[in-house]
């Protein structure tokens, strides 16, 4: 059983998209729920449009630790969609109770700069939660751009593990979310996206 926090320090990095798709992939293996701690409640809105058998999504409560303990009685895996700031109280609470922190970063200078603050927050949380294992993942990659080709070298210098798989910018992530679905429900159109999420899940769970 594990708690996985999806952590970002700015909007638009694909945090919620990764949260619901990672959770959907985990649901094929274990009972899985999402706690939506983002004030925008995008994961909650996604669930409102989803089919009955989609991943369960719960709005975060003030006492996040107690909520997670209660959900652990019914679910094997919990994914926390954190606020888009490492300074938000719920982000800090999530890091203190999580086994893994997945940090999506886009291949852009601003996102790389914002990641520095995330690493500081993760390292501080690890003082109280030494079992926390961070993993940075390059998200919304556009392979043909020069910046995307250079970003791997840049993130490797940050000092925390980086996922081997890089998740590409794909229209299917957006279109499936609009329908309240994950890429797992997109059939052949989602096959490449599913493969990337599956590889990422394997790396998260190692």
Domain that holds residue 104: 2-205
Domain containing residue 72: CATH number: 3.40.50.300
Q: In total, how many domains does the chain have? A: 1
Q: What is the pLDDT of residues 52-61, one digit of tens each?
A: 889 999 999 9
Q: What is the pLDDT of residue 150?
A: 66
Q: What is the pLDDT of residue 114?
A: 73
CB 168 within 8 A of CB 21: no
What pTM was computed for the model? 0.93
**How distant is the alpha carbon of residue 158 from its chain centre?**
19
Q: What is the pLDDT of residue 148?
A: 60
Q: What is the pLDDT of residue 36?
A: 98
Which portions of the chain are predicted below pLDDT 70? 109, 144-150, 152-153, 156
- 76: nearest Cα among 55, 101, 50: 55
CA separation for the pair 30, 22 (Å, rounded): 12
Q: What is the pLDDT of residues 5-21, one digit of tens each?
A: 999 877 777 899 999 99
The total number of residues shown for the chain amounts to 206
Q: What is the pLDDT of residue 158?
A: 75
CA separation for the pair 123, 139 (Å, rounded): 22
């Amino acid at each position: 059983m594990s708690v996985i926090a999806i952590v970002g320090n700015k909007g638009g990095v694909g945090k919620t998209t990764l949260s619901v798709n990672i959770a959907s992939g985990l649901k094929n293996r274990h009972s899985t729920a999402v706690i939506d701690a983002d004030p925008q409640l995008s994961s909650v809105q996604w669930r409102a449009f989803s089919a009955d058998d989609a991943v369960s999504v719960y709005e975060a409560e003030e006492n996040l630790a107690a909520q997670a303990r209660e959900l652990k009685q019914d679910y094997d895996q919990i994914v926390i969609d954190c606020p888009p700031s490492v300074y938000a109280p719920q982000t800090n609470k999530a890091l203190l109770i999580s086994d893994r922190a997945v940090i999506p970063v886009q291949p852009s200078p601003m996102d790389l700069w914002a990641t520095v603050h995330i690493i500081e927050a993760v390292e501080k949380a690890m003082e109280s939660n030494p079992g926390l294992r961070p993993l940075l993942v390059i998200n919304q990659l556009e392979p043909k751009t020069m910046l995307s080709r250079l970003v791997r070298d840049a993130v490797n210098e940050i000092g925390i593990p980086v996922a081997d798989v890089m998740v590409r910018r794909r229209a299917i992530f957006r279109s499936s979310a609009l329908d309240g679905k994950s890429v797992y429900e997109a059939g052949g159109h989602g096959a490449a996206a599913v493969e990337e999420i599956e590889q990422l899940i394997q790396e998260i769970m190692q």
